[in-house]
Amino acid sequence: MLDCGASAIHRMAQENLDWANLDAIWISHFHLDHTGGLAPFLFGTKHAPETQARKKPLKIFGAKGLRRLIEAFDKANDYELFKQPFPFEIVEVEALEKFEILPGVEAVALDTPHTKESLALHLRGENDKTIVYTADTGFTMVLGDFARGADLLIMECSFFKNKPVETHLELAEAMHLARYAKPKRVVLTHFYAEWDAVDFAKEVRGFSPPCEVIQAWDGLKLDVN
Ligand SMILES: [Zn+2]
Ligand SMILES: [Zn+2]
Protein backbone atom coordinates (compact mmCIF):
# COMPACT_ATOMS: atom_id res chain seq x y z
CA MET A 1 0.00 0.00 0.00
CA LEU A 2 1.34 3.37 -1.02
CA ASP A 3 0.42 5.77 1.79
CA CYS A 4 -2.39 5.25 4.25
CA GLY A 5 -4.87 8.09 4.56
CA ALA A 6 -7.84 7.90 6.89
CA SER A 7 -10.16 6.38 4.26
CA ALA A 8 -7.67 3.77 2.97
CA ILE A 9 -8.66 1.02 5.39
CA HIS A 10 -12.35 1.23 4.52
CA ARG A 11 -11.56 1.46 0.81
CA MET A 12 -9.51 -1.76 1.00
CA ALA A 13 -12.52 -3.57 2.48
CA GLN A 14 -14.96 -2.04 -0.02
CA GLU A 15 -12.73 -3.14 -2.92
CA ASN A 16 -12.51 -6.66 -1.46
CA LEU A 17 -8.74 -6.39 -1.15
CA ASP A 18 -7.01 -8.86 1.15
CA TRP A 19 -6.19 -6.26 3.79
CA ALA A 20 -5.54 -8.91 6.46
CA ASN A 21 -2.55 -10.16 4.44
CA LEU A 22 -1.14 -6.82 3.37
CA ASP A 23 2.64 -7.29 3.14
CA ALA A 24 4.01 -3.77 3.21
CA ILE A 25 3.02 -0.13 3.59
CA TRP A 26 5.02 2.75 2.15
CA ILE A 27 4.68 6.09 3.92
CA SER A 28 5.92 8.89 1.64
CA HIS A 29 5.81 11.61 4.33
CA PHE A 30 4.08 12.39 7.58
CA HIS A 31 1.14 14.62 6.56
CA LEU A 32 -2.14 13.28 7.95
CA ASP A 33 -3.72 12.63 4.52
CA HIS A 34 -0.92 10.04 4.04
CA THR A 35 -0.70 8.63 7.59
CA GLY A 36 -4.13 9.09 9.20
CA GLY A 37 -5.17 5.47 8.55
CA LEU A 38 -2.06 3.88 10.06
CA ALA A 39 -3.14 3.76 13.70
CA PRO A 40 -6.70 2.53 12.89
CA PHE A 41 -5.24 -0.10 10.54
CA LEU A 42 -2.78 -1.38 13.16
CA PHE A 43 -5.53 -1.34 15.78
CA GLY A 44 -7.63 -3.43 13.38
CA THR A 45 -4.91 -5.96 12.58
CA LYS A 46 -4.20 -6.31 16.31
CA HIS A 47 -7.77 -7.31 17.13
CA ALA A 48 -9.54 -8.55 13.97
CA PRO A 49 -10.43 -12.27 13.70
CA GLU A 50 -8.97 -12.20 10.15
CA THR A 51 -5.42 -11.55 11.39
CA GLN A 52 -5.14 -13.67 14.54
CA ALA A 53 -3.68 -16.70 12.70
CA ARG A 54 -1.45 -14.64 10.43
CA LYS A 55 2.26 -15.59 10.51
CA LYS A 56 3.53 -13.40 7.67
CA PRO A 57 5.30 -10.22 8.72
CA LEU A 58 3.98 -6.72 8.02
CA LYS A 59 6.56 -4.05 7.29
CA ILE A 60 5.99 -0.31 7.19
CA PHE A 61 8.60 1.65 5.23
CA GLY A 62 9.28 5.37 5.25
CA ALA A 63 11.76 8.09 6.07
CA LYS A 64 13.65 8.58 9.31
CA GLY A 65 11.11 9.66 11.93
CA LEU A 66 8.48 7.09 10.92
CA ARG A 67 9.02 5.06 14.09
CA ARG A 68 8.66 8.16 16.25
CA LEU A 69 5.39 9.05 14.45
CA ILE A 70 3.84 5.61 15.00
CA GLU A 71 5.08 5.58 18.60
CA ALA A 72 3.32 8.93 19.10
CA PHE A 73 0.04 7.50 17.75
CA ASP A 74 0.55 4.49 20.01
CA LYS A 75 1.30 6.43 23.16
CA ALA A 76 -1.76 8.65 22.71
CA ASN A 77 -3.71 5.96 24.57
CA ASP A 78 -1.44 2.94 25.21
CA TYR A 79 -2.94 1.10 22.24
CA GLU A 80 0.05 -1.30 22.09
CA LEU A 81 0.00 -1.10 18.32
CA PHE A 82 3.48 -2.66 18.17
CA LYS A 83 2.17 -5.90 19.74
CA GLN A 84 0.60 -7.56 16.70
CA PRO A 85 -0.42 -11.23 16.30
CA PHE A 86 2.27 -11.51 13.58
CA PRO A 87 5.81 -10.11 13.20
CA PHE A 88 5.67 -6.35 12.70
CA GLU A 89 8.54 -4.13 11.65
CA ILE A 90 9.13 -0.45 10.91
CA VAL A 91 11.89 0.20 8.39
CA GLU A 92 13.32 3.71 8.08
CA VAL A 93 15.00 4.03 4.69
CA GLU A 94 17.69 6.35 3.34
CA ALA A 95 17.22 8.15 0.03
CA LEU A 96 19.03 6.50 -2.91
CA GLU A 97 19.76 3.28 -0.99
CA LYS A 98 18.15 0.19 -2.50
CA PHE A 99 15.93 -1.92 -0.27
CA GLU A 100 13.62 -4.90 -0.76
CA ILE A 101 10.08 -3.69 -0.09
CA LEU A 102 8.44 -7.02 -1.00
CA PRO A 103 9.98 -10.38 -1.85
CA GLY A 104 11.39 -9.83 -5.36
CA VAL A 105 10.50 -6.13 -5.48
CA GLU A 106 13.40 -3.71 -5.29
CA ALA A 107 12.77 -0.13 -4.16
CA VAL A 108 14.70 3.14 -4.17
CA ALA A 109 13.53 6.42 -2.61
CA LEU A 110 14.30 9.98 -3.68
CA ASP A 111 14.16 13.19 -1.61
CA THR A 112 11.44 15.53 -2.91
CA PRO A 113 10.69 19.21 -2.28
CA HIS A 114 7.55 18.87 -0.13
CA THR A 115 8.47 18.28 3.53
CA LYS A 116 11.88 17.60 5.00
CA GLU A 117 11.19 13.86 5.11
CA SER A 118 9.18 13.48 1.87
CA LEU A 119 10.27 10.75 -0.54
CA ALA A 120 9.29 9.55 -4.01
CA LEU A 121 9.50 5.80 -4.60
CA HIS A 122 10.79 3.70 -7.52
CA LEU A 123 9.71 0.04 -7.60
CA ARG A 124 11.12 -2.69 -9.83
CA GLY A 125 9.48 -6.11 -9.90
CA GLU A 126 10.98 -9.49 -10.83
CA ASN A 127 9.53 -9.04 -14.33
CA ASP A 128 11.54 -5.77 -14.59
CA LYS A 129 8.33 -3.69 -14.69
CA THR A 130 8.69 -0.39 -12.88
CA ILE A 131 6.32 1.87 -10.98
CA VAL A 132 7.26 5.34 -9.78
CA TYR A 133 5.16 7.09 -7.15
CA THR A 134 6.00 10.75 -6.67
CA ALA A 135 3.73 11.24 -3.66
CA ASP A 136 3.40 14.93 -2.74
CA THR A 137 6.12 17.02 -4.31
CA GLY A 138 7.05 20.40 -5.67
CA PHE A 139 8.54 20.66 -9.14
CA THR A 140 12.02 19.26 -9.75
CA MET A 141 13.52 17.80 -12.93
CA VAL A 142 15.30 15.21 -10.77
CA LEU A 143 11.93 13.47 -10.53
CA GLY A 144 11.91 13.26 -14.32
CA ASP A 145 15.21 11.36 -14.28
CA PHE A 146 14.02 9.19 -11.40
CA ALA A 147 10.86 8.26 -13.34
CA ARG A 148 12.53 7.78 -16.72
CA GLY A 149 10.87 5.05 -18.78
CA ALA A 150 8.67 3.83 -15.90
CA ASP A 151 5.88 1.45 -16.88
CA LEU A 152 3.58 3.42 -14.60
CA LEU A 153 4.18 6.88 -13.18
CA ILE A 154 1.79 7.80 -10.37
CA MET A 155 2.18 11.54 -10.01
CA GLU A 156 0.56 14.11 -7.78
CA CYS A 157 -1.20 16.99 -9.52
CA SER A 158 -2.75 18.93 -6.66
CA PHE A 159 -3.46 22.07 -8.68
CA PHE A 160 -4.80 22.78 -12.16
CA LYS A 161 -2.89 26.04 -12.71
CA ASN A 162 -1.48 29.09 -10.89
CA LYS A 163 -0.55 26.96 -7.89
CA PRO A 164 -0.45 28.96 -4.65
CA VAL A 165 2.43 26.95 -3.11
CA GLU A 166 5.77 25.60 -4.35
CA THR A 167 5.39 22.27 -2.58
CA HIS A 168 2.88 20.69 -5.00
CA LEU A 169 2.55 20.28 -8.77
CA GLU A 170 0.16 21.83 -11.26
CA LEU A 171 -0.85 20.30 -14.58
CA ALA A 172 1.71 22.05 -16.79
CA GLU A 173 4.55 20.85 -14.54
CA ALA A 174 3.20 17.31 -14.39
CA MET A 175 2.94 17.22 -18.17
CA HIS A 176 6.46 18.64 -18.52
CA LEU A 177 7.79 15.87 -16.26
CA ALA A 178 5.85 13.26 -18.24
CA ARG A 179 7.28 14.50 -21.54
CA TYR A 180 10.80 14.43 -20.09
CA ALA A 181 10.52 11.06 -18.29
CA LYS A 182 8.71 9.24 -21.12
CA PRO A 183 6.84 6.75 -18.93
CA LYS A 184 4.54 4.17 -20.58
CA ARG A 185 1.53 5.48 -18.65
CA VAL A 186 0.79 8.26 -16.19
CA VAL A 187 -1.81 8.37 -13.44
CA LEU A 188 -2.46 11.80 -11.96
CA THR A 189 -3.83 11.94 -8.42
CA HIS A 190 -4.04 13.99 -5.18
CA PHE A 191 -6.44 16.48 -6.80
CA TYR A 192 -7.51 19.52 -4.82
CA ALA A 193 -11.12 20.71 -5.01
CA GLU A 194 -10.43 23.21 -7.81
CA TRP A 195 -10.18 20.20 -10.16
CA ASP A 196 -13.91 19.55 -9.74
CA ALA A 197 -14.61 22.40 -12.15
CA VAL A 198 -12.03 21.29 -14.76
CA ASP A 199 -12.52 19.10 -17.85
CA PHE A 200 -9.51 16.81 -17.19
CA ALA A 201 -9.39 15.05 -20.57
CA LYS A 202 -9.67 18.31 -22.52
CA GLU A 203 -6.97 20.09 -20.51
CA VAL A 204 -4.60 17.11 -20.72
CA ARG A 205 -5.14 16.88 -24.50
CA GLY A 206 -4.03 20.51 -24.70
CA PHE A 207 -0.54 19.42 -23.61
CA SER A 208 -0.29 16.66 -26.28
CA PRO A 209 1.06 14.21 -23.69
CA PRO A 210 3.51 11.52 -24.88
CA CYS A 211 1.49 8.67 -23.37
CA GLU A 212 -1.85 7.82 -21.83
CA VAL A 213 -2.66 10.10 -18.87
CA ILE A 214 -5.26 8.70 -16.49
CA GLN A 215 -7.25 10.69 -13.94
CA ALA A 216 -7.22 8.62 -10.75
CA TRP A 217 -10.56 7.77 -9.14
CA ASP A 218 -11.54 5.70 -6.11
CA GLY A 219 -11.50 2.05 -7.13
CA LEU A 220 -9.40 2.46 -10.30
CA LYS A 221 -7.62 -0.82 -11.10
CA LEU A 222 -4.58 -1.05 -13.39
CA ASP A 223 -2.36 -3.98 -14.36
CA VAL A 224 1.36 -3.43 -14.76
CA ASN A 225 2.64 -6.48 -16.65
ZN1 LIG B 1 1.80 16.36 1.92
ZN1 LIG C 1 -1.01 14.91 0.54
Q: Which ligand is nearest to the CA of 158?
A: 2
The CA 168 to ligand 1 mean position distance, Å, reads: 8
Q: What angle do CA 87, 70, 119 make, to 5 degrees?
A: 100
Q: Which ligand is nearest to the CA of 156?
A: 2
Is the pTM higher than 0.95? The answer reads yes
The CA 149 to ligand 1 mean position distance, Å, reads: 25
Strands 58-62 and 24-27: parallel
Amino acid letter, residue 12: M
Q: Which ligand is nearest to the CA of 31?
A: 1
Q: How many whole angstroms separate alpha carbon 3 and alpha carbon 124?
A: 18
What pLDDT score does 225 carry? 80
- Residue stretches of the chain with pLDDT short of 70: none
Strand (E) or helix (H) holding 22? none
Task: Report in angstroms the alpha-carbon separations of 38 from 45, 105, 106, 134.
Answer: 11, 22, 23, 20
